[in-house]
């Protein structure tokens, strides 16, 4: 009988151990080769070991299950979400040949999910992975997160955490509310088409989050947060001031 490797990722230790034990008792075809509470460490192991099955929680601190999958250069694993997150996304996942089990994990649901994953490996692997990638993109778009390609991979940033985008020699610097700065090879123009309505272009090289504006200076600057100043040109000055009337 053929066996299949698996990795489990869940930030809750008790949930991780419970799922691990259930898999061991339930299926002689699945061998758990690693377990992780830290999503970043899990990414490295998944890339290195390319498990056949990946049991993955959705809501985790630092990096959600969806974001973890986006960090993988290729997706060759069958994904089974183990989560208490029972909203629209789960039904969409179900319809796209990706399964999930709700916490607390039911033995029968887990067995069916494992059997489905093994079937996909043997028969439908390529089509299933393509569907999952498309679905993740739709979910991220619905959440209005900004996709920021960086040297390390792709970051998914809630737009409300962005205070300023700065064009720089064909690159874009993304300034965040916590003071961090991400640099992306995407141009400022490419980002502008994805931004929500509360972003305003105040200069050919600068776009600001209106919610972060604290003051306007007559010398030609917009003040964001704690005395953080961004230039505004005369071309955009009147339109900018009208936003606050």
- Give the number of domains in the chain: 2
Q: Are residues 111 and 231 in the same domain?
A: no
Task: Specify the pLDDT at position 92.
Answer: 45
Q: Could you report the per-residue pLDDT of 164-213, keeping only the tens digit for each?
A: 999 988 899 999 988 899 998 888 988 887 888 889 999 999 999 999 99
Give me the CATH number covering residue 40: 3.40.50.2300
The answer on 137 and 224 residing in a single domain is no
119, 93: one domain: yes
Q: Mark whether 170 and 225 lie in a shared domain.
A: yes
Same domain, 129 and 158: no
Residue 46: which pLDDT band, with cuts at 50, 70 and 90? very high
* 74, 189: one domain: no
| Residues 57 and 157 reside in one and the same domain | no
List the domain range (segments joined by +) for residue 177. Answer: 146-242
Question: Residues 178, 119: one domain?
Answer: no
Same domain, 89 and 46: yes
- How is residue 234 written in tokens? 């005369």
pLDDT digits (tens, 9 = 90+) for 69-121: 888 888 788 899 887 766 645 554 654 446 778 888 889 989 999 998 888 88
- Same domain for 179 and 62, yes or no, is no
Q: Using a cut of 0.75, tell me whether the model's pTM lies above it.
A: no
Statement to judge: residues 172 and 70 lie in one domain:
no
pLDDT in tens, 121-160: 877 655 656 666 666 665 655 556 788 887 777 888 888 8
Provide CB contacts within 8 A for 12, sequence distance 6+: 37, 57
pLDDT band at 226 (very low <50, low <70, confident <90, very high): confident
Same domain, 69 and 177: no
More confident residue, 42 or 170: 42
């Amino acid at each position: 009988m053929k066996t299949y490797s698996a990795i489990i990722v869940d930030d809750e230790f008790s949930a991780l151990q419970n799922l691990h034990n259930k898999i061991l008792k339930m299926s002689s075809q699945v061998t758990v080769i690693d377990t992780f509470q830290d999503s970043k460490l899990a990414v490295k192991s998944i890339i290195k070991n390319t498990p056949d099955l990946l049991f993955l929680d959705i809501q985790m601190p630092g990096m959600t299950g969806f974001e973890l999958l986006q960090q993988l250069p290729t997706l060759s694993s069958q994904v089974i979400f183990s989560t208490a997150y029972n909203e629209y996304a789960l039904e969409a996942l179900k319809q796209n040949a990706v399964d999930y089990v709700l916490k607390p994990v039911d033995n029968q649901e887990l067995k069916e999910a494992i059997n489905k994953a093994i079937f996909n490996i043997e028969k439908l692997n390529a089509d299933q992975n393509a569907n999952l990638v498309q679905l993740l993109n739709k979910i991220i778009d619905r959440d209005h997160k900004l996709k920021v390609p960086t040297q390390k991979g792709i970051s998914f940033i809630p737009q409300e955490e962005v205070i300023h985008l700065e064009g720089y020699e064909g690159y874009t610097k993304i300034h965040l509310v916590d003071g961090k700065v991400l640099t992306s090879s995407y141009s400022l123009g490419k980002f502008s088409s994805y931004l929500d309505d509360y972003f305003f272009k105040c200069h050919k090289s600068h776009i600001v989050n209106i919610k972060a504006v604290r003051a306007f200076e007559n010398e030609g600057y917009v003040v964001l947060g704690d005395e953080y100043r961004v230039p505004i040109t005369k071309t955009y000055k009147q339109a900018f001031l009208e936003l606050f009337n």
